[in-house]
Structure 1
Amino acid sequence: MRDLLVLGTASAVPTRHRNHNGYLLRWDGHGLLFDPGDGTQRQLTLAGAAAHDLTWLCITHFHGDHCLGVPGVVQRIARDGVRHPVQAAFPASGARYWERLRHAAVFHDTDVIREQPVSGETMRLDTGDAPFTLTARRLNHPVQAYGYRLEEPDGRTMLPDELAARGVHGPLVGELQRRGQVTAPGGRTVTLEECSRPRPGQKAAFIMDTGLCDAVHALADGADLLIIESTFLDEDLAHAEANGHLTAGQAGRVAAAAGVRRLVLTHFSGRYDPGAEPRFAEQAAAAYSGDIVVARDLARVPVPPRRTP
């Protein structure tokens, strides 16, 4: 399963309709929780997710709407007895804030949280044997902030008819995948290219508080799913630029230039009431003709089906 559970969509201040930030990207048994704001523990429960679903905790920066849910999430991991490692990525420059959040109250602690502080302009995180890579890039915000990009390696899709035509079956198929060629029962050498086609790896990007910068475009490039802040409408561009944020139109232009397949707009300023939602989509659509989702709390957004070569 590959999908996004939207746990909250507000910016600095939660509203009656929008919780603080929180985004759970579920990817083949892994759960990457991005920017848990205040109330995330409850939102996980309402969305039908559990602490056991979490394998990553990724913080873009230490403004409260992106991290005040960390204490509850960590304590829930401990309380529920999660035994697998949970990697924690966060800006190294905010380590003191991480420590305060990580140990904000008295509880029976857990040793499964594995810290991976992020520094520099670009950093590739240690994902072990996970079926993806995870890269952080420095964004443009008044405090140090990072966006994250998940990438599945390219692979190949086996073609059953081509395998059968060449007499390759059973254990030979696995050997062909591992070695790139096998000797078929008739003595013929069969190559992987003859019996498969390229399978492009899928990509997802998560971009929160930032002004436009090169890192935004690099993170979004070719993403199947782009989750990106659109804090303001275009008429409030000056306010967005002054505070290191994006507008809906800017998010749409980023998605169009990057060839994104599904665009998820989120992190909405409390100055707009729910009736303004269509305007975010309209302004993004002025530049981007793909699928646009205006995020709502507790919504589920599937990762688009795999691209065909």
Structure 2
Amino acid sequence: MSMRELVVLGTASQAPTRQRNHNGYVLRWDDEVILFDPGEGSQRQLLHTTVTATDLTRICVTHFHGDHCLGLPGTIQRLSLDRVPHPVAVHFPAGGAEYFARLRHATSFYETAELLVEPIEADGQQVALRCGTLEARRLRHPIETYGYRLVEPDGHRMLPEKLAAYGITGPAVGELIRVGHLDVDGRRVTRAEVSVPRPGQRFAFVMDTGLCDGVYALAEHADLLVIESTFLESEAALAAEVGHLTAAQAARVATESGVRRLVLTHFSQRYPDPRLFHDEARTHFDGELIIAEDLSTVQLPPRRVASNE
């Protein structure tokens, strides 16, 4: 049975608080388990969830500011300690390769895990996965930064009553899906006659950035958008100066991009009350809104219904 959900390890920004650990987010998407931006303490936070280091198949780092990457050394060493039996791919901005090398070998350890080091070298770079495509987009921050989105290709949902009307059962259904048509009793039945389109799902991950084209490209039609909202609108000028978003900006991006479920995170320590982010975002976004909390789990929403269904 496939599982698609986000497990939140930490939601703080530059400085952790008593309630919020540094960043860390795990996306379970079928057979992919992707760790995004492992900040300091991520390895320990995993112990409070049902995710283990052995489950991880991929690590994605948006940029090399400490709150987004200082958990890398412990996480990488844990992969070797647990003798993870499969390769684990690691993606990060290519310009930060030296930082990654330092973090990877920050201390002495016996390396047994196989890391596939695959830096992001260009805006729009794509990585083919079994479940879809992982795409990176350049963001606007003082250092090289990329956001990520996972896009599942569109497919088809077969209609049992239509299949039954043509007497198509068993392995013939699989052949019809694969080939696109099937000859039955001298008549060619096309896939379109017995199915409806099934839009693929989309997940987007947007961390430290000011407003830019990359933000909108990542958020476009996302079923689940995880996006930073470091500041409130009262400090919009500061947010722009340091390359961050406000809750209002993040919410407007979600509305303009057709996002279904919005998760706000990466909160400045100056705001002890998370309800402030909710109240500000709600005035600009009327969809499903979640203010992320450490060690919470967020499900991807049910699939979109095809427009011609």
Identify the TM-score tier after normalising by the shorter chain: over 0.9
Cα distance, 1:279 vs. partner?
1.4
Q: Given the superposition, is the C-alpha separation of residues 254 and 110 from structure 1 closer, same or farther in structure 2, using an over 3 Å criterion?
A: same
Deviation at 1:85, TM superposition (A): 1.4
Could you report, residue by residue, the CA deviation over 1:101-156 in whole angstroms, capped at 9, with x for unpaired residues?
Answer: 111111110342101111222211243xx211000011000011000010000000
Distance 2:35 2:41 in 1: 13
Residue-by-residue CA offset, 1:261-297 (whole Å, 9 max, x unaligned): 0000000001111xx2111011111111100000000
Q: Which residue of 2 aligns with 1:187?
A: 186
Question: Within 5 A, what are the aligned runs for 1:97-246?
Answer: 97-127=99-129, 130-184=130-184, 186-246=185-245
Measured in 1, the distance between the counterparts of 2:230 and 2:159 equals 45
- 3-state SS of paired residue (1:118): coil
The yes-or-no answer on 1:31 pairing with 2:27 is no
Letter in 1 for 2:141: H
Equivalenced residues, count: 304
The answer (yes or no) to whether the contact 1:116–1:125 under 8 Å persists in 2 is no
Query: Mind listing any 5+ residue stretches in structure 2 that lack a counterpart?
Result: none
Match of 2:287 among 290, 298, 301: 290
Secondary structure in 2 aligned to 1:117?
coil
CA deviation after TM superposition for structure 1 residue 90, in Å: 0.3
Offset of 1:52 from its aligned partner? Answer: 1.6
Could you state the TM-score of these two structures normalised by the residue count of structure 2?
0.97
Q: How does 1:269-288 map to 2 (within 5 A)?
A: 269-273=268-272, 276-288=273-285
Is 2:297 the counterpart of 1:300?
Answer: yes
Deviations 1:61-103 (A, max 9, x none): 0000000000111111111111111110000000000001111
| Identity among equivalent pairs (%) | 57
Contact 1:148 1:207 in 2 (8 A): yes
Task: Using the TM superposition, give the Cα deviation of residue 187 of structure 1 relative to its aligned residue in structure 2, in angstroms.
Answer: 2.3
Partners in 2 of 1:208 and 1:37 — Cα distance? Answer: 13
| 1:64 and 2:66 are equivalent in the alignment | yes
Q: Secondary structure at the match of 2:301?
A: coil
Root mean square deviation, CA, Å: 0.9
Which residue identity is paired with 2:261? R
State whether residues 229 and 265 of structure 2, in contact with CA within 8 Å, keep that contact through their aligned partners in structure 1. yes
What is the letter of the counterpart of residue 254 of structure 2? A
Letter in 1 for 2:178: R
Deviations 1:156-186 (A, max 9, x none): 01111100100111121111011111112x2
Distance 2:75 2:215 in 1: 28
**1:50 matched to 2:49:** no
TM-score by length of 1: 0.97
SS at 2:38 equivalent? coil
The amino acid that maps onto 1:303 is: L
- Deviation for aligned residue 1:189: 1.4
